[in-house]
Amino acid sequence: MITISLCMIVKNEERNLGRCLSCVADLMDEIIIVDTGSGDRTKEIASEYTDKVYDFQWTGDFAAARNFAFSKASGDYIYSADADEILDETNRERFRVLKENMYPEIEIVQMYYTNQLKFRTIYNYDKEYRPKLFKRVRSFTWIDPVHETVRTKPVVFDSDIEIIHEQEENHAKRDLEALCRAGREGGLSERLFDMYARELYFAGDKEDFANGEAFFEAACKDDNIGSDQLKEALSIMVKAARVLGDDRKFMKYTVKAVAFGGASEICLELGDYYMEQEDYEEAAVWYYNAAYETESIFDTHSRGDIPLKKMAECCRNLGHQEEAEYYEKSAEEWRIQSERNC
């Protein structure tokens, strides 16, 4: 049977750490806790489960902290967990069975990460696969009988284990500050660019948009940017202009976004713009486009129940009661179907 090292980075997690460790401690052969500067009882709680508790000076780099934790592991596999994760009895047993029956050629095990919509930040779905268990030492082997080559893609197994993400508070503000800082320093990969845009769209406040405006405006002017990133940057600039009350930039980037193909988020912002001016006919045109004529970039609701409800509001303001009831019913049907798909 394989051995597993649990590796965690923590800070001020006295409310969550004991609950997390009690779920997994008996499944692990080694527990490594890396503390990045707690001022509460986190380290004391960690010491109840392991003597391998390390301090790591926080640099603002989560990857560096996790690499340090992984460097302390000695097991065959490393299980990476956060303090706000829980395994119930069903999934503890699934984990135990996996451990007892792991094929040695498997290098990464993915597990379902659930409860994603609790704070509705960057997610449109309630669970997704995430890599959680990693082979500590990877063996390279030759493949193909002719023109042989070294296999570089890892062997990944999608398990049926479900991890409950029991997040107690929204971390968006912390993440947005880190992403903004990385953007200023030129350290955003394509993946982080997407995450920054999504987190800002869903959870950004006026301060966050003001901090991120220069980064996304520069992205809109970058001739080397990819089309997907340009759409995201334009969408953020449109919303930023609305949040910051800059009508000139709102019209400038709305026109650019529509010329580039548009998106339901853009149409929704235009609908809201005309709704605020009580121009319900024009608002209805853009809400209709959001719901039926465009695709979403960030939020699937922007082409579903949100514009449909607002269509109903426009119809009611225009005295079209029957149409209002139709769109309200359509919005509810869309919401129910969406929840089933999650």
Last residue of a domain, one of 132, 165, 198: 165
pLDDT at residue 20, rounded to an integer = 96
Count the domains in the chain: 2
Q: Which amino acid would we find at residue 192?
A: L
Q: Is 98 exposed, middle or buried (0-12, 13-18, 19+ CB in 10 A)?
A: buried
195 shares a domain with 153: no
Q: Which residue has the tokens 């109903």?
A: 312
In this prediction, residue 146 carries a pLDDT of: 76
Final residue in a domain of this structure, among 137, 165, 193: 165
Cα(58)–Cα(271) distance, rounded to whole angstroms? 44
Between residues 119 and 177, which one has the greater pLDDT?
A: 177
Asked whether residue 112 carries a pLDDT value surpassing 60, the answer given is yes
In this predicted structure, the answer to whether residue 149 has a pLDDT above a threshold of 90 is no
Residues paired with 150 in a beta bridge: 142
Co-location of 117 and 261 in the same domain: no
pTM higher than 0.75 for the full model? no
CA triplet 125, 78, 28: central angle to 5 degrees?
100
Q: Is the pLDDT of residue 178 over 80?
A: yes
- Which letter, b or e, does each residue of 105-139 get, where b requires 16 or more Cβ atoms within 10 Å of its Cβ? ebbbbbbbbbbbeebebbbbebbeeeebbbbbeee
pLDDT in tens, 56-108: 999 888 899 999 999 999 999 999 999 999 999 999 999 999 999 999 999 99
**Do 121 and 207 belong to one domain?**
no
Asked whether residue 337 carries a pLDDT value surpassing 80, the answer given is yes
B/e letters for 244-267, b = 16+ CB within 10 Å, e = fewer, are eeeeebbeebbebbbeeebbbbbb
Domain end marker among 165, 190, 212: 165
Q: Bridge-partner residues for 128, per DSSP?
A: 113
Tell me what the mean pLDDT of segment 280-293 comes to: 95
Q: How confident is the model at residue 170 (pLDDT cuts 50, 70, 90)?
A: low
CATH of the domain at 90: 3.90.550
Whether 151 and 123 share a structural domain: yes
DSSP string, 87-121: --HHHHHHHHHHHHH--TT--EEEEEEE-TTSS-S
Mean pLDDT of the region 309-337: 94
Q: Which of 265, 60, 98 is nearest to 174 (CA)?
A: 60
Eight-class DSSP state of 148: -
Quote the CA–CA distance of 115 and 127 in Å, as a whole number.
6
Q: Are residues 255 and 292 in the same domain?
A: yes
Q: Is the pLDDT of residue 172 over 80?
A: no
Q: How does residue 142 score in pLDDT terms, banded at 50, 70 and 90? A: confident
Same domain, 34 and 94: yes
Q: Which residue has the higher pLDDT, 301 or 147?
A: 301
Over the chain, what is the mean pLDDT? 91
Q: CA neighbours within 13 Å on the CB side: how many for 317?
A: 16
Domain that holds residue 295: 172-341
Strand partners for 114: 164
Does the pLDDT at position 122 exceed 50?
no
| End-to-end Cα separation, the chain, in angstroms | 35
